[in-house]
Amino acid sequence: DAGVIQSPRHEVTEMGQEVTLRCKPISGHNSLFWYRQTMMRGLELLIYFNNNVPIDDSGMPEDRFSAKMPNASFSTLKIQPSEPRDSAVYFCASSLEGLAGYEQYFGPGTRLTVT
Amino acid sequence: AQSVTQPDIHITVSEGASLELRCNYSYGATPYLFWYVQSPGQGLQLLLKYFSGDTLVQGIKGFEAEFKRSQSSFNLRKPSVHWSDAAEYFCAVAGNEKLTFGTGTRLTIIP
C-alpha cells in the first residue's frame, strides 16, 4: 500500500490567496483526520470524518478554513483567504473504524508558508 | 477531557545508552495509549500501543513502554539507542474517537 498521500508537499503563497491541500487516505480506511502542527501549539486536530461525513470540526480555527470529503478516497482542506499565521505543517491521517480507528496512519504532511 | 503531559521537551543521549521518555496522561476511564515517532520532515509513525492486558508492551524498532495505572504514566524505553533514533516522540491518549497528543520530546543522539 502507498500509505496516506498528501499534495502538495510544500506550498508558498501570498496572504489573501486561496490554498487547497489534498489527501488520499489508505484504501479501506473509514476515518480521516486533518491536523495542524506548529512550534507554538504543537499538533492540533482540526477536523475528522467517518465514512466521508464530518464528525467533529471543533478544531477548525475560523470560517476561513473548510474541509470536504466527497468520496472515500479523497479529501481537501481549504483556506480562503490565507493569512501568515496559517503557516504550519498540515497532516492528514487515516484509520479503520472502531477500536482500530485509534491507530492512525499519517501522511508526510504539507508545509504551508503564507507570506 | 483527556490530556497528555510530556515533561521533557528535549533529551540528549549517547549512542548505545539506555533511554526513557516520560508520559503522563489524564483520562477518566481505562485509557488507550500510544507512542508515535516523527523523523525530520516526515509524518508520525506508530511505535506501539496499549489497549489492555499486559502492561508492558513491545513496539517496533526495539522500543517498549510500560503502563502504570497508579502513576498515570506510560513511559517509553529502549535499552540501547542508535543514531537513527534521533527524532521527536509523541505520546497520545485516545478517547471520544480522537487522539490527544502530548507536546512531544525531541531526542538528540550524540556519538
Cis peptide before A81 (omega within 30 of 0): yes
Report mean pLDDT in 10-residue bins for chain A, 115 residues.
91 97 96 93 92 92 94 97 96 82 88 98
pLDDT digits (tens, 9 = 90+) for B50-59: 988 889 999 9
Interface residue ranges in chain A relative to chain B, Cβ cutoff 8 Å: 4, 31, 42-43, 45, 48, 50, 55-56, 91, 93, 99, 101-109
For chain A, the first-to-last Cα distance in angstroms comes to: 36
Q: Residue A62 has what DSSP assignment? A: S
Chain A residues whose beta carbon lies within 8 Å of the beta carbon of residue B46: 103-105
Chain A residues whose beta carbon lies within 8 Å of the beta carbon of residue B94: 102
Closest C-alpha to A91, from A12, A18, A13, A38: A38
C-alpha cell of residue B12: 540528549
